Chains A and B, each alone.
Chain A
Amino acid sequence: MTIVNVVGAGLAGLSAALELGNAGVSCRLVSAQASERAQSVLAEGGINAVLDLMGEHDTLREHYEDTMRGGAYLADPNAVWGLVSDAPLIVRRLADLGVPFQQEHGAMIQRNFGGQKKKRTAYVKSSTGKVLVSALVDAVRRLEDKGVVTRAWHHELMDLELADGACEGVWVRDTHTGALELLGGPTVLACGGMGGLFGNLTTGTTTNTGNAAAIALARGVELANLEFLQYHPTTMPLSVKRMLVTEAARGEGGRLFALRRGEPWYFMEDKYPELGNLMPRDVVSREEEAVLKDPSCGGQVYLDMRGLSAHVWRTRLSDLRDEVRHYQHLDPAKEPLPVEPGIHYCMGGILVDERHRTNVARLYAAGECACAYHGANRLGGNSLLGAIRGGMVAARTLLDEDVSAQGRTQTRAAVSADTPASTNASLQTNTNDVERAMQKALVGCMGITRTQQELEAGLRSLEALPHTARVALARATVACALARQESRGAHQRSDYPHTSDDFRRTTVVRWQGDQPSIEFRALPEPRKEVPQA
């Protein structure tokens, strides 16, 4: 019988395991750490779905259009239509699993989020991700009890086992014993984003190293859109990381300002009267960057939450307030909070089609490690949705293709630890000095606004480093940014400030010989039922 591997146990992995397990298919849920430690638990603001609970006549079409526009028309229209169409059912199912979505007077409510004109984001205070994970962990536990899902805690991905262009399984290492093992079977990768390439400068976890993407690249899997790196406009430096201030702070009325010649200047409201502080993140971060560079603005941006009512603080943002008080020794209800843009989300990753297939047969990807729904910039609240839906769709596709299809169920049995590993453990590890040099090169050229000169210099520094899979991934990332000679969404080039129709294509990167090779690939045509964006 086929046993499916799901690698990664955040929301995408949990969702895939749930779908497979409910279909009665055995699955191994493999993860470097327990689900409670996954980056998904950090998600604060919420999950988007058109439920139209707020009397605003919200429609699927608007969710679709906001997502496409937010992503600067670089996302697969069919995938996005699928995403927004499935969202209402997904959120209702989550409520059935016991997620206590925010309520008022006994009825569920939704909040505003960036890049969207309607209140479409379902949430639980500012701990949405944690609460979703708790509910899904329990749901998967039920399948563990039935024996259909088995957990491999503390196992990290070391390599993919490929034969004839298909995935035969994954090599994993038990981080407690050091033992290597080949787990045979079709595989869903759900390892989270590759933000770890940038080290301490992100809002994410130390576990999401980017190794999974590096391994995939090294094994010939196509990656895409690596240049689209989301800088979140409101982060605070914490020692050895950046801490997010949820977009919900602005959704509930928080306002960005700078002191221009000593006077508060609410620059987003000034420049964008309609959406103001809730413009998509790429726009807000860019405006902040401009303000930070403007000598009359004092080099600091603040988030002003003094106008939020006591009711909002108590019922919807109490956890944010506690956190800011704890780490910054400042009460955001009384004092403006200094913030700055920080690396937050990778729109790019392992390229999948709308059914979450990679270019390698029997290998699927979902969640933040996959490039699926977000185009050039992700809307807040769409990635929890994308992770849960991605896991579900990857599992369904896999069930169609690899489990029910006769003759394809011949999976190599798992072999034990002493099999000579095709795994080359040095494939992914950098020594500390190489890692530091790599991060320095990346940070130096992959800022909010980029130039050819800086990118070329960054690439040269990376090429001078010892060849590891991580360095190769860093080179591929910079190569994507160099090749895209335009400005779009989260990729801004001061030397190519305009958006160009010629580049309304997916940047596909694969490793060839000893370097990254880039191709711009046409987007799929929207199917008949998909609205014209």
Chain B
Amino acid sequence: MRRVLEILRRSDAASQPHWQSFLYQTDDEQATVATALVELNEQDELHDVDGALAEPIMWENSCLQKKCGACAMVIDGVPRLACDTRLDSTRHERIRLEPLRKFPVVADLLVDRSVLMRNLAQAGTWLESAAELPAKRWDVAYEASRCLQCGCCLEVCPNFSVQNAFGGMAAMVPLARLLSEAPADQRRALAASYASAVYGGCGKSLACRNVCPANIDIDKLLSRSNAAAIWHRW
């Protein structure tokens, strides 16, 4: 298999982005975009398609098996995990890689996602005392624990921006966990957070649902959280 990776590069946030292409060839049918990036960077010298010497490609990775959210980037226009995107999933030879656009770029495909943590902190995403998890909410608590904090959902969200307080699905999912097991005396505070950090700002288009690489059941979490936080049906 032969692929040309076209990568939107910049050495730091201040420099002008430019496209640079790299040829990657492999016999491994399981190879993903992540495989290609790992192996390109492992070469003693990295050359682009024109033979020019290139700096290693900056990107974030960790688990390489779609469990940690590190490698989220925009692949052919869609926010995805590099390690979950097989090279043979497209018939085109060219694959375009860009950093997630909603976050400040550090270099190349590497972005600073600390706003995710800031939003969760602002929304008060924690329990003040022991969890109370009714058996019927077990599946909600489990599902909501799975969020990778990858940020793919925010990429397609019309209402999210680093500047405002709306946290999008990346804040809704962790809040859904807390709403499912909040001790009685914390329910009001969490409901208020949910209303302001998520419910109020969300246009309910559910564009985010289709890109979540963890396939989180956003419908279930939303309807449960709305029932609790907005309609007070705990």
- Seen from chain A, the residues whose Cβ lies within 8 Å of a Cβ on chain B are 33-34, 36-39, 41-42, 95-100, 103, 106, 124-125, 127, 130-131, 134-135, 138-139, 141-142, 144-145, 151, 153-154, 176, 200, 205-207, 238-241, 243, 323, 327, 431-433, 436
Contacts and interface: CB of A to CB of B under 8 A. Distances in A.
24 contacts: A34-B113, A34-B117, A38-B68, A39-B63, A96-B131, A97-B131, A98-B131, A98-B141, A100-B138, A100-B142, A103-B138, A106-B135, A130-B67, A138-B126, A138-B127, A138-B178, A142-B127, A153-B114, A207-B62, A238-B30, A239-B32, A240-B35, A240-B64, A432-B44
B219 interface: no
Interface stretch (B90-98, B144-152, B201-209, B224-232): B144-152
B50 interface: no
Contact of B70 (A33, A433, A436): A33
A432 B30 contact: no
B108 interface: no
Contact of A141 (B35, B61, B125, B131): B125
B34 interface: yes
Contacts of A154: 112
Given A138-B126, A205-B62, A206-B62, A433 B147 contact: no
B174 to A, nearest CB: 7
A37 B30 contact: no
Nearest to A125: B142
Interface in B106-132: 106, 110, 112-114, 117, 120-121, 124-128, 130-131
B6 interface: no
Contacts of A241: 64-65
Nearest to B41: A432
A103 B141 CA distance: 12
B181 interface: yes
A142 B126 contact: yes
B162 interface: no
Contact of A36 (B31, B38, B69, B142): B69
Contacts of A124: 142, 145
Contact of A127 (B64, B135, B146): B146
Most chain B CB neighbours (cut-off 10 Å) among A130, A145, A153: A130
B80 interface: no
A38 B58 CA distance: 19
Contacts of A327: 30, 65
B73 to A, nearest CB: 14
A33 B121 CA distance: 18
Contacts of A36: 68-69, 148-149
Interface string B1-45: 000000000000000000000000010101110110011001110
A176 B112 contact: yes
Given A238-B64, A432-B43, A142 B128 contact: yes
Given A98-B131, A135-B145, A432-B43, A151 B63 contact: no
Most chain B CB neighbours (cut-off 10 Å) among A95, A98, A134, A207: A98
Contacts of B145: 99-100, 124, 127, 130-131, 134-135
Nearest to A134: B145
Given A37-B68, A100-B141, 20 more contacts: A34-B117, A34-B149, A36-B68, A37-B70, A41-B67, A42-B65, A98-B131, A124-B145, A127-B145, A131-B146, A138-B178, A141-B117, A141-B126, A206-B38, A206-B61, A207-B62, A239-B31, A241-B64, A432-B42, A432-B43
A125 B145 CA distance: 12
A153 B43 CA distance: 28
Nearest to B28: A239
Interface in B50-93: 60-65, 67-70
A98 B181 contact: yes
A147 to B, nearest CB: 11
B126 A139 contact: yes
Contacts of A125: 142
Given A130-B67, A134-B177, A206-B64, A144 B121 contact: yes
Contacts of B64: 205-206, 238, 240-241
B69 A37 contact: yes
Contacts of B34: 240
Contacts, number: 131
Nearest to B84: A326
Contacts of B165: none
A97 B34 CA distance: 34
A323 B125 CA distance: 29
B142 A131 contact: yes
A145 B121 contact: yes
What are the 5 A-B residue pairs with the smallest beta carbon separation, nearest first? A98-B131, A142-B126, A106-B135, A100-B141, A96-B130
A176 B99 CA distance: 15
A432 B42 CA distance: 6
B195 interface: no
Contacts of A38: 62, 68
A153 B60 CA distance: 13
Nearest to B46: A432
B133 interface: yes
A37 B44 contact: no
Contacts of B113: 34
A138 B117 contact: no
Most chain A CB neighbours (cut-off 10 Å) among B42, B60, B62: B62
B24 to A, nearest CB: 12
B110 to A, nearest CB: 8
A331 to B, nearest CB: 17
A444 to B, nearest CB: 19
A37 B117 CA distance: 13
A35 to B, nearest CB: 9
Interface in B190-204: none
A511 B173 CA distance: 48
Nearest to A36: B149
Contacts of A98: 127, 131, 133, 141, 177-178, 181
Contacts of B121: 141, 144-145
Contacts of B112: 154, 176
Most chain A CB neighbours (cut-off 10 Å) among B34, B114, B131: B131
A124 B178 CA distance: 17
Contacts of B69: 36-37
B124 to A, nearest CB: 7
